């Protein structure tokens, strides 16, 4: 029995040994390039002595080595993922030092890299955005998040990254034009270039990016028209965010081809004078629409019939005139947020708004609305401080609602005047002739009462 176990163990060990031996080592060029990158992001750590072995057997979290089938029917070892910058205790990627740098030429060694990720890595001295085009066709995710000292621009040959699906560069000072080469990345599913220093007009032919689901160019300094090619291809787009730029002209009607679009944010640009786009009414997948801070003008159109999926709608600060259509409240049954503040809207608040069940913020501030606020005490209790009505001098609230304990404590209703303010009947006129007592003057009232008591007791 013992012999049998021994033989089995031996067989197992030989098998295991054979298995380990059968794995090819990581080639020297990739091993050295990893050391090179680690040393450039943090030279204070002695990387070569901490990780002396093949990175396929031992590597810092964030450095991923894998055994891949090669062309000759064999297996070879390659670096497939590199993630730098501390993220959390659960994924403690190599920490970048304040003097971290980035030597782009090292990356040409990584022939099978699929994912490259930098989080809060470049936060000290300026580092130029490197030429990653040599990474060629293996790269799928190129992600930079919060790297403010990253500067420079992205070259046209970004188009070499043929397999890239996710290109995220957010929170850097990389600028210049948005590279036209991006239109050749036909596998792109997410293009996020928000919060950088990109400027000028956008000439990318978005019609070529048929797989795009997320396009976020928000918070840059982009100007000119939104390309009409947007919507001419990327019909799977779910999210489009162009907010906080200088885009102008008309919001292109081509957008209505984006039948799957759920999130549209064009706020704080310079779109102007064409009113709220009517074609929005045909985009029935929309869940959130923000057009705040433009110059749309005109009346709020009645386009809400097919937009029952909308949860959030912002039309603040747009020079809108006319009244608030009741059809908004009738059709937008799932509304959680509505911002119509800082326009020139007039007329009354339609009563239909008080029956919106899921709403948790209604902002009508700074318009010229008038008449009675239609909300019930229950509605007011539900929405609290997020019912914003100030800055409408002609808007009034009924005594009953205003004196409701909850509404007074927690809402802006307290700032509104009372409707049909009845003339104050001086309660104690009988005692004072034409000098009505003031409620707060309780001393005087006390004296008078005592006087009368004395008078009667005599
Ligand atoms: C980065 O700073 C460390 C000290 O924090 C220093 O030892 C190292 O030489 C510096 N590296 C470079 C490339 O300047
Ligand atoms: C970048 O790495 C290459 C090796 O790939 C090396 O020859 C070059 O000197 C490095 N550049 C800098 C600025 O360190
Ligand atoms: C990519 O373009 C840059 C200039 O933008 C150039 O320096 C570099 O050599 C190009 N790289 C490749 C691989 O073509
Ligand atoms: C941002 O871009 C402008 C040009 O549009 C340039 O003048 C400025 O220096 C850039 N800022 C940084 C921090 O690179
Ligand atoms: C949209 O695509 C069609 C062909 O699919 C083309 O004829 C048209 O010019 C394109 N429109 C824009 C604005 O690029
Ligand atoms: C506000 O509306 C009233 C009518 O309700 C009108 O008389 C007044 O001129 C308007 N004020 C502004 C600033 O538009």
156 within a domain of the structure (yes/no): no
**Which atom of ligand 2 is least distant from the CA of 106?**
5
276 within a domain of the structure (yes/no): yes
How close is the Cα of 84 to the center of ligand 1, in Å?
17
First vs last Cα of the chain: how many Å apart? Answer: 125
Give tens-digit pLDDT for 5-44: 555 554 454 444 445 556 888 999 999 999 999 999 999 9
CB 196 within 8 A of CB 169: yes
**For residue 115, pLDDT beyond 50:** yes
- Count of domains in the chain? 1
Q: 380 pLDDT band (50/70/90 cuts)?
A: confident
- Number of alpha carbons in the 13 Å side-chain half-sphere of residue 110: 26
- Closest protein CA for atom 6 of ligand 6: 368
The residues lining ligand 3, judged by C-beta closer than 6 Å to any ligand atom, are: 131, 133-134, 155, 157
Q: 215 pLDDT band (50/70/90 cuts)?
A: very high
Ligand 2 pocket, residue 105 CB under 6 Å: yes
**Which atom of ligand 2 is least distant from the CA of 109?**
5
Q: Please tell me the least confidently modeled range out of 48-62, 197-211, 221-235, 360-374.
A: 221-235
438 within a domain of the structure (yes/no): no
Q: Report the chain's mean pLDDT, rounded to a whole number.
A: 87
Give tens-digit pLDDT for 83-110: 999 888 887 899 999 999 998 889 999 9
Distance CA 9, CA 226 (A): 69
367 within a domain of the structure (yes/no): yes
* pLDDT score, position 442: 45
Q: Who's near 208: CB < 8 A, 6+ residues apart?
A: 183, 184, 186, 233
Residue 250 DSSP code: P
Q: Which of 196, 197, 201 to mutate to test the pocket of ligand 4 (most atoms within 8 A of CB)?
A: 197
Distance CA 451, CA 444 (A): 11
- Closest protein CA for atom 13 of ligand 4: 173
CB 212 within 8 A of CB 187: no
Among all ligands shown, which has an atom nearest to the Cα of 106? 2
Among all ligands shown, which has an atom nearest to the Cα of 222? 4
How close is the Cα of 87 to the center of ligand 3, in Å?
31
* pLDDT score, position 288: 98
- What CATH number is attached to the domain comprising 325? 3.80.10.10
How close is the Cα of 195 to the center of ligand 1, in Å?
29
Tokens coding 56? 């396929």
pTM: 0.85
325 within a domain of the structure (yes/no): yes
Give tens-digit pLDDT for 143-191: 999 999 999 999 888 999 999 999 999 999 999 999 999 999 999 999 9
Q: Who's near 422: CB < 8 A, 6+ residues apart?
A: none
**For residue 394, pLDDT beyond 70:** yes
CB 392 within 8 A of CB 383: no
Domain of residue 379: give its range: 272-422
How close is the Cα of 28 to the center of ligand 1, in Å?
25
Give tens-digit pLDDT for 427-457: 554 444 444 444 444 444 444 455 555 555 5
Residue 235 DSSP code: T
User: What burial class does residue 217 get, using C-beta atoms within 10 Å of its C-beta: 0-12 exposed, 13-18 middle, 19+ buried?
Assistant: buried
DSSP letter for each residue of 32-96: HHHHHHHHHH-TTS-HHHHS-S-TTTS--TTEEEEEEE-TTSSEEEEEEEEEES--BTTB-PPPP
């Amino acid at each position: 029995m013992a012999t049998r176990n021994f033989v089995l163990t031996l067989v197992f060990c030989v098998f295991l040994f054979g298995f380990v031996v059968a794995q090819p080592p990581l080639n020297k060029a990739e091993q050295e390039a990893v050391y090179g990158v680690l040393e450039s992001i943090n030279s204070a750590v002695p990387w070569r002595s901490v990780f002396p072995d093949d990175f396929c057997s031992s590597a810092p979290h964030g450095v991923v080595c894998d055994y891949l089938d090669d062309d000759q029917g064999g297996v070879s070892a390659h670096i497939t993922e590199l993630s730098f910058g501390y993220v959390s205790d659960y994924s403690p990627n190599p920490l970048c030092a304040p003097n971290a740098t980035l030597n782009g030429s090292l990356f040409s060694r990584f022939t099978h890299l699929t994912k490259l990720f930098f989080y809060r890595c470049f936060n000290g001295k300026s580092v130029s955005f490197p030429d990653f085009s040599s990474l060629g066709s293996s790269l799928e995710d190129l992600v930079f998040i919060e790297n403010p000292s990253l500067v420079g621009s992205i070259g046209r040959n970004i188009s070499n990254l043929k397999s890239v699906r996710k290109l995220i560069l957010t929170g850097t000072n990389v600028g210049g034009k948005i590279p036209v080469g991006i239109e050749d990345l036909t596998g792109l599913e997410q293009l996020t270039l928000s919060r950088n220093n990109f400027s000028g007009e956008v000439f990318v032919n978005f019609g070529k990016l048929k797989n795009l689901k997320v396009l976020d160019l928000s918070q840059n300094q982009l100007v000119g028209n939104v390309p009409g090619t947007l919507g001419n291809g990327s019909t799977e787009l779910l999210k489009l965010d162009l907010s906080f730029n200088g885009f102008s002209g008309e919001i292109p009607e081509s957008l209505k081809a984006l039948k799957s679009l759920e999130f549209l944010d064009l706020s704080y640009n310079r779109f102007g004078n064409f009113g709220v786009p009517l074609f929005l009414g045909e985009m029935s997948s929309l869940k959130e629409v923000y057009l705040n801070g433009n110059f749309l003008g005109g009346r709020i159109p009645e386009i809400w019939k097919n937009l029952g999926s909308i949860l959030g709608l912002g039309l603040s600060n747009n020079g809108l005139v006319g009244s608030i259509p009741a059809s908004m409240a009738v059709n937008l049954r799932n509304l959680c947020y509505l911002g119509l503040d800082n326009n020139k809207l007039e007329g009354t608040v339609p009563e239909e708004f008080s029956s919106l069940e899921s709403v948790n913020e209604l902002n009508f501030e700074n318009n010229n609305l008038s008449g009675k606020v239609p909300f019930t005490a229950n509605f007011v209790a539900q929405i609290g401080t997020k019912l914003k009505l100030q800055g409408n001098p002609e808007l009034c609230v009924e005594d009953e609602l205003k004196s409701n304990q909850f509404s007074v404590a927690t809402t802006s209703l307290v700032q509104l005047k009372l409707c049909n303010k009845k003339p104050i009947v001086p309660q104690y006129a009988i005692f004072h002739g034409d000098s009505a007592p003031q409620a707060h003057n309780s001393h005087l009232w006390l004296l008078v009462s005592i006087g009368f008591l004395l008078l009667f007791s005599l």
